[in-house]
Amino acid sequence: DRATILDNCLRCPHERIVVTHGTDTMTDTARVLGEAGLAKTVVLTGAMVPYAFGSSDGLFNLGSALSFVQALPHGVYVAMNGRCFPWNDVVKNRALGIFEPRGKGDRT
């Protein structure tokens, strides 16, 4: 699936791309895209709370990603909870239910 996402980003005629993605493996996909060295701005985002639960953060995260993708230089980023991280400096902190810079907190 990551190869398909990368291929679509490469073939996309646009320089600014937002990818909605499940949060459990979002950083893995960001790494694949980041290591590819795309000459584009790609922002991955998702929801920590599924939409089916009624008060999902997904729409807020999507709105943030749409703003970040317009303002950031070329590169691959993860946008969650109003924050944006470069692909190589982000982890999902499952204990806290947030994304944060690498090297912070518990990653269980």
Percent over 70 (pLDDT), the chain: 90
Instruction: Kindly indicate the confidence band of residue 108, based on its pLDDT and cuts at 50, 70 and 90.
Output: very low
Measured from the Cβ of residue 2, the count of other Cβ atoms closer than 10 Å reads: 13
* DSSP run (H or E) holding 5: helix 2-11
pLDDT, residue 107, reads: 45
Mean per-residue pLDDT for 8-29? 97
Which of 37-51, 64-78, 94-108 reaches the highest mean pLDDT? Answer: 64-78
d(CA 6, CA 32): 7
Mean per-residue pLDDT for 13-27? 96
- Which among 59, 60, 86 has a CA at the least distance from the CA of 72? 86
